[in-house]
């Protein structure tokens, strides 16, 4: 990453979108990540942008996001605005030759992701990282290390649970897949190092708490080598935020969970607190993801990974709509993204 002249290397980040995630990333960049500072911010809600700028040590507030992207005082851009806005901003970063960390999903449609991959391929080198932070979560990296070391033999099954306390009433059922389950679609590809080749989506009767949304849903994913991964996605689980999973191999299993260190035993119960959203659950993953990006270590998901996750998500949406199993025929990986 580029640096400020003189003194220690400091990468000046422009943050676009200063809502829940943009504010959290700006806080981490300011307080917990070395070698970076927030250099500028933009949000269509000027009040939010000013609040985050003030909390980030007086970063510049831009009135125009494209001016932020090309500004000489901004070395790299972090996009945390709403999903539908990602494409234009990522394309502008590629045109300006600036490294960009774009929150997931890379873009909500396959066509938009495809345009981004084409632009980066034409540019000729990799500038884009997608915010699939679970790749940095100590639970998932530990699971992958045990799998790779052969500790549980060949993988057979993976059971995933992904629950949120409440979704916006009237949220389309497809958004549970494209916005939430997209994390599992990425983590399955990353964990097994192979593609998802077939998907099916099953739904029970919808929860009465879900305001008409098809919620919960059960995705069943088949990988190239024949591993089956199921994903329960439940956006109105009401009791709290929870993400956990178990990988079943031929000779053992690995579980990823995030119990807080403190739990209460009283009155015949053993209780532990659950967070209200993803920020406490994945706090360390977000920090490690940002540090990796600032260090230029390239451990994050690529634009191709972002494309692939959205591609599989749309096969799942088709399966949700039709009730049938759907084959996933990803196009060949462009040379820029081959390992």
Ligand X SMILES: NC(=O)C1=CN([C@@H]2O[C@H](COP(=O)(O)OP(=O)(O)OC[C@H]3O[C@@H](n4cnc5c(N)ncnc54)[C@H](O)[C@@H]3O)[C@@H](O)[C@H]2O)C=CC1
CB of 318 to ligand X, least distance (A): 21
Reported for 141-150, long-range contacts at CB under 8 A and 24+ positions apart, including other chains, are 142/254, 142/256, 143/191, 143/245, 143/247, 143/254, 143/256, 144/190, 144/191, 146/254, 147/191, 147/247, 147/249, 147/254
CB of 235 to ligand ISE, least distance (A): 7
Instruction: From the list ligand ISE, ligand X, none, pick the one residue 48 interacts with, judged by a Cβ distance below 5 to 8 Å according to partner type.
Output: ligand X
Query: What residue ranges bind ligand ISE (CB under 6 A)?
Result: 164, 179-180, 183, 278
CA distance 4 to 8: 8
Instruction: Output 56 or 180, the one with its CB closest to ligand ISE.
Output: 180
CB of 98 to ligand ISE, least distance (A): 24
Report the candidate in 46, 10, 47 with the shortest Cα–Cα distance to residue 29. Answer: 10
Neighbours of 251 (CB within 10 A): 9
Instruction: From the list ligand ISE, ligand X, none, pick the one residue 115 interacts with, judged by a Cβ distance below 5 to 8 Å according to partner type.
Output: none
Instruction: Output 85 or 109, the one with its CB closest to ligand X.
Output: 85
CB of 76 to ligand X, least distance (A): 17
Q: Does 131 bind ligand X (CB under 6 A)?
A: yes
Neighbours of 134 (CB within 10 A): 24
- Vertex 239: Cα angle to 275 and 21 (nearest 5): 40
Binding mask 21-60 for ligand X (x = CB under 6 A): xx-------------------xxxx--x------------
Instruction: From the list ligand ISE, ligand X, none, pick the one residue 164 interacts with, judged by a Cβ distance below 5 to 8 Å according to partner type.
Output: ligand ISE
Instruction: Output 62 or 311, the one with its CB closest to ligand ISE.
Output: 311
DSSP H or E segment with residue 43:
none
Nearest residue to the partner ligand ISE, using Cβ:
180
Q: Taking phi first (over 0 means left), then psi (-120 to 50 degrees means alpha), and beta for anything else, what does residue 106 get? A: alpha
CB of 153 to ligand X, least distance (A): 31
Instruction: Output 144 or 162, the one with its CB closest to ligand X.
Output: 162
Instruction: Output 75 or 289, the one with its CB closest to ligand ISE.
Output: 289
CA distance 248 to 229: 10
From the list 19, 51, 206, 334, which residue makes contact with ligand X (rule: CB under 6 A)? 19
CA distance 142 to 332: 30
DSSP H or E segment with residue 191:
helix 182-192
CB of 151 to ligand X, least distance (A): 28
């Amino acid at each position: 990453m580029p640096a400020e002249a003189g003194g220690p290397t400091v990468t000046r980040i422009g943050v676009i979108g200063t809502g829940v995630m943009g504010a959290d990333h700006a806080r981490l960049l300011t307080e917990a990540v070395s070698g970076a500072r927030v250099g500028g911010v933009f949000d269509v809600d000027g009040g939010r942008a000013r609040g985050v700028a003030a909390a980030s040590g007086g970063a510049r507030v831009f009135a125009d996001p494209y001016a932020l992207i090309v500004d000489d005082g901004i070395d790299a851009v972090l996009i945390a605005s709403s999903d539908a806005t990602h494409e234009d901003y990522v394309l502008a970063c590629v045109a300006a030759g600036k490294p960009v960390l774009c929150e997931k999903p890379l873009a909500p449609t396959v066509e938009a992701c495809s345009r981004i991959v084409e632009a980066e391929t034409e540019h000729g080198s990799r500038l884009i990282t997608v915010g699939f932070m679970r790749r940095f979560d100590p639970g998932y990296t530990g699971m992958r290390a045990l799998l790779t070391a052969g500790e549980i033999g060949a993988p057979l099954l993976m059971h995933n649970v992904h629950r949120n306390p409440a979704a916006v009433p009237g949220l389309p059922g497809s958004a549970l897949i494209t916005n939430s389950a997209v994390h599992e679609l990425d983590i399955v590809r990353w964990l097994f190092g192979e593609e998802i080749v077939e998907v099916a989506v099953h739904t029970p009767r919808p929860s009465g708490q879900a305001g008409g949304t098809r919620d919960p849903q059960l995705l069943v994913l088949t990988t190239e080598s024949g591993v089956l991964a199921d994903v329960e996605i439940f956006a109105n689980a009401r009791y709290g935020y929870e993400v956990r999973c178990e990988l079943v191999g031929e000779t053992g299993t690995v579980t990823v969970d995030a119990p807080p260190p403190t739990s209460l035993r009283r009155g015949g119960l053993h209780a532990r607190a659950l967070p209200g959203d993803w920020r406490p659950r994945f706090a360390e993953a977000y920090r490690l993801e940002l540090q990796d990006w600032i260090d230029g270590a390239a451990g994050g998901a690529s634009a191709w990974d972002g494309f692939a996750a959205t591609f599989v998500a749309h096969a799942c949406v088709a399966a949700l709509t039709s009730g049938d199993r759907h084959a996933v025929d990803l196009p060949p990986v462009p040379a820029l993204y081959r390992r």
